[in-house]
Structure 1
């Protein structure tokens, strides 16, 4: 027996994959996304390790004290080159471009920061804080108090009952990444399922295919082809992103837990995408024109937008509830796993719920598809489609 008669769904799957891989727009968008992922991590690492050098001149002792204070308080990647000069000498150097700025104290005990064209905001902020520190110290000294005994910036530290601040920041970034990847993949690979069904209905190609392939296997091939593509692209993005993060000179916090959580995200992504694939196939079978799909796909796009916003902004009990709702759980549960306070039972229960939703949605989509895919007399409602004979 030939492969074609034994596995017709596999032929359809391979056709869907091959067609997409030949699409120049798909290839270009994938490459652009990879460049953006690598570029964003590379830029972040470069900015974090780049050393900024400021060449400064003070025209009096008080200004010199401010510059020394700013140099002492500066971050590791910010360096100050400080000199004490007369006003005329400093101005000449500023005009010649050998100085970035001049700090001067006037008769009112106020400071003026002079730049040639503009003063960098980073320099302005550093000197503003240093000026406040120096002037406060002078006032305390004149009042007979020791500035070293005053409370400093470390008088207040941040502590969280659950997790810590660095992990919370990492969760926010990964929540945005997971949400965006799911939203993008659901549109790029989900909507083409519906468009493919509509195109075959309009061109009557489905009638020819139905004579050679069982409609159930035709639908299965369409869904599996797009699932394979979506999953392959997602894993490529995650693998490249994690690899670039490991090579980055900046060590991201909790980088060791990301591969495991990324694995969970792939699993939940697969479940959520299958539910959406069934919905897209149903919408395509009910429509007779592309315009019909544009009208009926609004709720699905709304759900995807909800997933995007829930993944980014949901917290506390709302996030817990969302982690058990199919489609939304594809993003919500991996985000909770990043927090490190979820037992193994919870994602397994959520996954079982998602798989049950997949099973129901695919079966319902197959039922609608087999009844409505041959109908060309206009858009159908679910009720009308269910009344059609096979």
Structure 2
């Protein structure tokens, strides 16, 4: 409906331009007649010059306007016939960062990929974040006073430590954490996932070590930071392998290449990329030996929040297309081709 309105509006504009083209010569002729008997000829001459200039460029405007309906129709038809990515819809790349890499025309950009999986994770993360915010309102109430907040876990010669309240700071960290989580869940490429993952790690460090005067909180924050860096090393190495052999970080383009394993069998590099990128998930997983507990029961919820949803989301995103591909194997009748495809999937 909107496209038809735009096309109709463009056609009306064309008619206006054509009508104006017919009338302008007569208007200019009338102005020149007035110029003969006019007392103030300078203003009239400027007006005539402006009209003549407009008449000169009017054909170009008409030509541009006449091409507009066809362009709008083409854009509309492409939008209607475009295959949507995912079960809901696909938001195209928003910002083109740069063009580089082993493949000509490859690019890294920022965008959002929305399908049934990311939508489910988005709702779940938002729901859990809402509960944590509601819980934190009461849990952090003692931080509301601007001055003289007593920390009974830290003792000085004069008694419990007295410091400024950090109520606003806590919710600033928590809000940045939720922003990073949601950006991670909706990211359409591995590079954006990595950046969001780093922001989540920074916020985890800040939240776990929120009461940094306490030794237990400081030690737990340092352990979490070191654990994250171990996982990040694998993530970065996996990103380099993916970029070197596929020339892209975008899930859509990665999946489009692994859909043709007979043509694009990457062997050991593919196996390494698939394993190493998920190293960061292992470092963050609740089931992993590398798991770092929070400083006490009251602070543990901060650690639990990022781990399972984010780790499972990243694992699911990387494996969702391969799971769908396994289902399509049932239709493959050639046993040799099926064996090749199975080996490629196992490698990834």
| TM-score exceeds 0.5 | no
Q: Which has the higher contact order (CA 8 A, sep 6+)?
A: 1
Normalised by the length of structure 1, the TM-score is: 0.25
